[in-house]
Amino acid sequence: MIEAVFISNELPQHQQTVFMEQNMNCTEEFQNKGYTIVRGFIDPQSVQTISRYLENALKRYPENNQGGKSGDSSKISWYADPLIETVLLNSLPEMENITGSKLFPSYSFTRVYTKGDELKPHTDRPACEVSVTCHVATVGKPWPIWMQAPGSEPSEHYLEPGDACVYHGCQVKHWRTPATETDINVQFMLHYVKQDGPNADHKFDKRPSLGLNK
């Protein structure tokens, strides 16, 4: 078995600067409101690559499509896909800009919702202190996600491919009502913890490294 370590993960400096300028409002909103919508979190070409990749990944790894566990919101999902774990790591500088905090990646998760699926209102576990849900693709009618910060009114959000909602996963309640007119909805979740926060020990979701199964 070959053990390889690849080094180049950094965004070129000019790309980092553009992203920082675009997301100054998002930072303010995230800190004040508990969540924010980041349009174009993933650029169009990359989101198309991710979409096509996930379609192939489902064909290659049919065990990801086993009907879900009881109580699961979708029948198709998988933990720590190699590509999405890469997105988790590569998004770290952007996520630190948006949140204004130094972060550790914890884990990524991919979900393909199908007709009739529902995400019940919930908050996430400690490894999801800062969470991202990034929209990849929809077949059928767009399907909004609902967000509700403590003490605030709920609000619904429609995301285009590449758009993301960044939120305090352990505090902000989120849900989706039953998908009656949406045939397929594909998204991935990225989770991080604050380096100086109470959940820092959930770095890599307590795995030896990213990319591994739990």
Q: How far is the CB of 137 from Fe ion (least distance, A)?
A: 19
DSSP alpha helices (H): ranges in 34-118? 44-60, 82-90, 92-99
Pick between residue 45 and residue 107 the one whose CB is nearest to Fe ion: 107
The CB-of-122 to Fe ion minimum distance in angstroms stands at 6
Strand-pairing partners, residue 138, are: 185
Separation between Cα atoms, residue 36 and residue 106, nearest integer Å: 20
Nearer to Fe ion, 81 or 124 (CB): 124
Which CB, 97 or 111, lies closer to Fe ion? 111
Q: Cβ closer to Fe ion: 44 or 154?
A: 154
Do the Cβ atoms of 80 and 108 come closer than 8 Å?
Answer: yes
Residue type, 200: A
Name the minimum Å distance from CB 153 to Fe ion: 19
Site residues for Fe ion per CB under 5 A:
124
| Of 88, 77, 91, 5, nearest in space to 41 by CA | 91
Cα→Cα distances 93→18, 147, 188, Å: 12, 24, 18
Q: Residue with the closest Cβ to Fe ion?
A: 124
Smallest distance, Å, CB 131 to Fe ion?
7
Closer of 70 and 209 to Fe ion (Cβ): 70
What's the min distance (Å) between Cβ of 45 and Fe ion?
Answer: 28
Find the shortest distance in angstroms from Cβ 16 to Fe ion. Answer: 28
Tell me whether residue 93 or residue 144 sits nearer to Fe ion (CB atom): 144
Long-range CB contacts (< 8 A, 24+ apart) of 48-55? Answer: 48/161, 50/83, 50/84, 50/87, 50/136, 50/188, 51/136, 51/137, 51/161, 51/186, 53/83, 54/81, 54/110, 54/112, 54/136, 54/186, 54/188
